[in-house]
Amino acid sequence: MIQVIPAIDLIDGRCVRLSQGDFSRKTSYEASPAEMVSVFLDHGLRSIHIVDLDGAREGHPVNLDVLEMVSRGSRAEIEWGGGIKTREDVKSVLDAGAGRVIFGTMAVKDPSLFAGLLEEFGPERIVLGADVRGREVSVRGWTENGGIDIFTLISSFLPALRKVIVTEISRDGMLCGPGLSLYEELIKAFPDISLTASGGVGCIEDIRALESIGIGKVIVGKALYEGRIKLEEIPSW
């Protein structure tokens, strides 16, 4: 059964959603991060994907106080990304309560450091987060072409790499459905990778479609916040 991972994006400690990563196309939500984590846990969703958008923009973790708050005494398994560039950043995020740390730009710009972190902290804690336009990986908050395609990037960290999140930028926050063909290709090319799909999910049928092609995990954000997918629906199949 596919695992649904709810997403929380943070700006100034508040829950927001962006469309295609554009900070000028921001929707803010009333519920606090702690309230959202509590709601997700109450509905049996234990893994939670949190992106520190301030950290992504600033180039270092910013909202660690929120991470500490939502993880303290919580059953949540939090994967955290946004502006993580150094070993010290990894330590601070793990110490604040995250179970997994997501790397995007740094994995592209400093692959030797990323490989070293994989070895030091282990493939269960270090996650490659690849944001793509077509097959090309984008970096620095989706503003630059990383100069590498997703297949080459994943291959460069094998066999150590185990967990990869692939976000299709053109679909993120658009509720238009995921790009199944790319995920099918990735599953075929990397059968031993735990692949998480992200971007475009707008309804329960989208999640079922991803499950049907063999995706094990999917990140869902805007569709949950806007009621297009009800939390009560998720465990029903």
Identity of the amino acid at 119: E
* Catalytic residue IDs: 9, 131
C-alpha dihedral, 20 to 16 to 205 to 190, nearest 10°: 60
Pairing outcome for strands 77-81 and 47-52:
parallel
Helix/strand/coil (H, E, C) string of the chain? CCEEEEEEEEECCEEEEEECCEEEEEEECCCCHHHHHHHHHHCCCCEEEEEEHHHHHHCCCCCHHHHHHHHCCCCCEEEEECCCCCHHHHHHHHHCCCCEEEECHHHHHCHHHHHHHHHHHCCCCEEEEEEEECCEEEECCCCEEEEEEHHHHHHHCCCCCCEEEEEEHHHCCCCCCCCHHHHHHHHHHCCCCEEEEECCCCCHHHHHHHHHCCCCEEEECHHHHCCCCCHHHHHHC
What is the Cα–Cα distance from 121 to 180, expressed in whole angstroms?
32
How far apart CA 93 and CA 104 sit, in angstroms, is 15
Contact (CB, 8 A) for 33 and 50 = yes
